[in-house]
Structure 1
């Protein structure tokens, strides 16, 4: 069943690129590269969360990173 979700995510990402691509002027290669890069990052995050739904979020990573500083500096 996860293959269907991957196909759906890929379909939606493709629709996003096909919708936005003509709106970018022909000479703007950097903008097109950013569109592709951000779409690929979003697609990979969506697929990763599909297989690992309990993956810690960004706030949990920041909390783990700065927790030692909180112990050093009391409230």
Structure 2
């Protein structure tokens, strides 16, 4: 994880929240919940090093490789 990126995203999320929240006071609770959920998802994704993570094919191969010996019909 790059701490500079994480802190930068935290500052941006705080700025977005501070700018948009006063405008959302009259909106329904569902809209506020969606706003908070989207900001939270963005913040959580900064915790992962997505550029260096294994892709879906690698993850599936790691999970199912032990089963290949069971399914081998030779």
Are residues 1:42 and 2:42 paired?
yes
Question: What are the ranges of 5 or more consecutive residues in structure 1 without an aligned counterpart?
Answer: 62-75
Query: Radius of gyration: which is bigger?
Result: 2
CA RMSD for the aligned pairs?
Answer: 2.5
Q: Deviations over 1:35-70 (max 9, x none)?
A: 11000111212332xx231344xxx77xxxxxxxxx
Higher relative contact order (CA 8 A, sep 6+): 2
After TM superposition, the score normalised by the length of structure 1 is: 0.57
1:52 paired residue number:
50
Q: How many residues align?
A: 57
Report which of the two has the higher share of helix: 1
Q: TM-score, normalised by structure 2?
A: 0.58
